[in-house]
Structure 1
Amino acid sequence: MREALIVIDYTNDFVAPEGKLTCGEPSQNIEERVTSILKQFHRQEKEIFFAVDVHEENDPYHPETELFPPHNIRGTSGRDQYGKVQTFLDELGADWPAHIHWHDKTRYSAFAGTPLELKLRERGIAHLHLIGVCTDICILHTAVDAYKRGFALTIHEDAVQSFNADGHTWALGHFKHCLGANVVTD
């Protein structure tokens, strides 16, 4: 079964101490693990998809406008990957290998309004590994959409995090007990 990694919203605005909607230390503490998994998939030349939240400045129509402060605004450094993950991308240079992809997303799920499913199906991928933030928001919505589309799931517990500890714990149980996901730590 072909596998792919989806790195969800591991951006400066969600992770850095000065991020506009940061998950804080819990998300910073998974940096090494996120980077390790990313490099492992890269070494094996497995498909890697960056699903990255994007918002337009002062967008009155986006449903998150009323829920959260402005974050991941197009053209800002808030959308850069955090820390060593951005260093990894910088070291690749302008010509990324064909197995690494970037998808802007405007909703919680990496599937909503993106070509992600098409790209996965074209490549015969049936198993998704999810890492990043936030466990109980974007990871959760992506996992539910993946489940509904018939993908097998692995959630790397030590490479996901949230700004809500209770939500994080709840989502991990939901992945395992309601979506049949393999929830793993290394």
Structure 2
Amino acid sequence: MSDLRDRQDLRERQLAHLTRPGSRPALVVVDVQRDFADPDRLTEYGLTPAALSALDQAVTRIRDLVDAARAAEVPVVWVELGSDPARPWRSSNWLRGGDYDAPMGPDEPCVLGTSGAEWYRMRPAEGEPRVVKRAYSGFLGTDLRERLRAAGCDWLTVVGLTSECCVYATAQDAVQLDWPVVVPRDATAAYDLDVHAAALVQLGLNVAVLGDTDEVVDLWKKAAQ
């Protein structure tokens, strides 16, 4: 019981920091693109009906957060994969297929200029920043850090796909770069329910405060008061 109270007290202190006067949050949306989110493009991954349902619900909640962020004047930053055939990710080639020097294959996701790279069921509004990455983290080899600093953002909500991969990598880099991070459990997903559950455990242990969409919106409102 004492341990539970300690965790609750810690969480209250963490959230109080996020809603202090002058706090400026941002919403970072990661990889909700057709090749990662459209069920018609995910057949080779063998998602179960339950995993497909969870993915659909997560995309809906992410869209809800985008709408709420705009209404609350919280900056929305879009991080998207842009695979470039002229610059294949060689270590990924090696990891997935064993051939470091292989050219980019036809099944590579989110190739620049293709429909698979398009945002799915949501899209950036005019003036909202878009950051194109070529690997997992939205910070690696991009100007995401500089954009967030220039906007004066001092804590981040990270959402998107998938929880164990690009969301985790982006959130982990954010906290290592000194931003407090909140990850809503219902606004991210993986292609396997057990993998997603494990990702949330890892995020909660080392990277982020976990919550849900409604709680994040409430935090934004308190920060704006």
For the criterion TM > 0.5, the same-fold answer is yes
Q: Can you list the C-alpha shifts for 1:20-62, whole angstroms capped at 9, x where unaligned?
A: 6767613222222111100011112221111001112375443
What is the one-letter code of the residue matched to 2:135?
A: R
Matched residue, 1:183: 210
**CA 1:75–1:121: 2 relative to 1, 3 Å:** same
Residues 114-156 of structure 1: CA distance to partner in whole angstroms, max 9, x if unpaired? 1010111112211000111010000111111111111011101
Aligned letter for 1:63?
A: S
Query: Larger deviation: 148-157 or 51-60?
Result: 51-60
Please name the residue that 1:153 is paired with. 181
The equivalent of 2:15 in structure 1 is: none
**Structure 1 stretches lacking a partner, 5+ long:** none
Q: Which structure 2 segments of 5+ residues have no match?
A: 1-22, 98-106, 215-225
Question: Whose radius of gyration is greater, 1 or 2?
Answer: 2
Equivalent residues in 2 for 1:19-168 (5 A)?
A: 19=41, 25=52, 26-57=54-85, 60-66=88-94, 67=96, 69-83=107-121, 85-86=122-123, 89=124, 92=125, 96-97=126-127, 100-168=128-196
CA–CA separation in structure 1 for the residues paired with 2:27 and 2:60: 16
Give, in whole Å, the separation in 2 of the partners of 1:72 and 1:152: 29
Q: CA deviation at 1:177?
A: 1.9
Q: Distance in 1 between matches of 2:181 and 2:168?
A: 11
For 2:29, the aligned partner's letter is V
Q: How many residues align?
A: 175
Matched-pair contact (CA < 8 Å) for 2:57–2:186: no
> Does the residue aligned with 2:73 lie in a helix, a strand or coil?
coil
Deviation at 1:19, TM superposition (A): 2.0
Higher helix share: 2
Superposed CA RMSD: 2.0
Equivalent-residue separation in structure 2 for 1:106 and 1:130 (angstroms) = 18
Change in CA separation of 1:12 and 1:45 when aligned onto 2, cut-off 3 Å: same
Counterpart mapping for 1:4-19 below 5 A: 4-19=26-41
| Higher strand proportion | 1
Structure 1 residues 177 and 78, CA gap change in structure 2 (3 angstroms): same
**126-135 or 20-29, which moves further after superposition?**
20-29
SS at match of 1:51: strand
| 1:37–1:61 distance in 2 versus 1, CA, 3 Å | closer
Q: What secondary structure, in the 3-state scheme, does the structure 2 residue paired with 1:150 have? A: coil
Q: TM-score, normalised by structure 2?
A: 0.71
Deviation at 1:170, TM superposition (A): 1.5
Q: Percent sequence identity over matched residues?
A: 23
Q: Which contiguous aligned blocks of 4+ residues in structure 1 show a shift greater than 6 angstroms? A: 21-24
